[in-house]
Amino acid sequence: MKIISYNVNGIRAALNKDWIKWVNAVNPDIICLQETKAQPEQIDTTLFKENGFNTYIHSAVKKGYSGVAILSKTEPKHVEYGCGIEKYDNEGRIIRADFEDFSIISAYFPSGSSGDIRQDFKMDFLADFYTYIKKLKQEIPNLIISGDYNICHKAIDIHNPISNKKSSGFLPEERQWISDFIDLGFIDSFRYFNEQPHQYTWWTYRFGARGKNLGWRIDYHMVSQTLESKLKRANILSEAVHSDHCPILIELD
C-alpha cells in the first residue's frame, strides 16, 4: 500500500499544473491533502473518481483558506470530519478515514509565523491534538497521521538551525512537542529509513530557496509503532513542484 501526503497550497492551482497526471504516474492508494483552499463544491471530484479515488473533503468555513482531504481507492468504513473542537474544525484542519486494519488522518497544523496571536493558537492546537490522539489511540491503535505539522523536529530538519532558533516552526517548545508526540508510540517514518541531512519538504518562494535547497522538513507520516513491521519504505518526492511543499511517501505491506 502506497500513501502520499501533500500540502498542495491550493488544489485548484495544483490541478492546473497537471497534478492528476503526476498522481497517476506515482499511483498511490491513498492521498492525504492539506491546504486545499477550496469549498467542496469548488473541487471537481468527478476527476478524482475517473482516476479511481473516493474523495472526502473537510474545508474551512472561511473560503480560500486551509482545508484537508483524503482520496482513497478503497472506500473507508467510516470518515470523521474534524476532531470535535469547533475552533479547529472551523478551519478544516483534521479529517480521518477508518479502514479495517488501520485509520489515517490528514492533518494541517496551524502556522504561528504571522505573529503572537496565531502562535498562541498553534500552541493550543498542539496541546489539544496531543490529548485527542492520546485518547483516539486507545480506541484505534493502528494510526497513521499524515500532513503538514509546521514544525521541524531536529537541527537536521532545517537548513539553518542557528538563525532559525527563534522562528515559529523551530521553537524549543514546538520541537519538544514532536518528541513528546513520538513518545506516545509513533514512528517518524522518514527518519526511520533515512538519517541523511538536507532532506526538506517545504521551501519559501523567496530568495530562490528551493533551487538552493534552503528548506524545512515540516511534513510527516507519523506511524503507530504497532505498524512498524509493516513499514516498507519512506521517501520525500522533491521533484514534484505543484506547491511550495513537496509530497511525502510511505509504503506499507
Kindly report the CA angle at 127 between 69 and 110, in degrees rounded to 5?
40
pLDDT at 152 (0 to 100)? 98
Domain of residue 199: give its range: 2-252
Per-residue pLDDT reduced to its tens digit, 86-102 = 999 999 999 999 999 99
Q: What secondary structure letter does DSSP report for 225?
A: G
Number of helices and strands in the chain (H, E): 8, 12
* pTM passes above 0.95: yes
What size, in residues, is the chain? 253
How far apart CA 67 and CA 56 sit, in angstroms, is 11
Collect all residues with Cβ–Cβ distance below 8 Å to 29 and sequence separation of at least 6. 1, 2, 3, 72, 73, 74
Q: Give yes or no for a contact between 244 and 204, defined as CB atoms under 8 angstroms apart.
A: yes
Q: Which three cell numbers stand for residue 199?
A: 532532506
pLDDT at 150 (0 to 100)? 98
Give the chain's residues under pLDDT 50: none
The enclosing domain of 33 has a CATH number of 3.60.10.10
pLDDT at 106 (0 to 100)? 99
Total structural domains within the chain:
1
Q: What secondary structure letter does DSSP report for 227?
A: G
Across all residues in the chain, what is the average pLDDT?
Answer: 97
Q: Which residues are catalytic?
A: 148
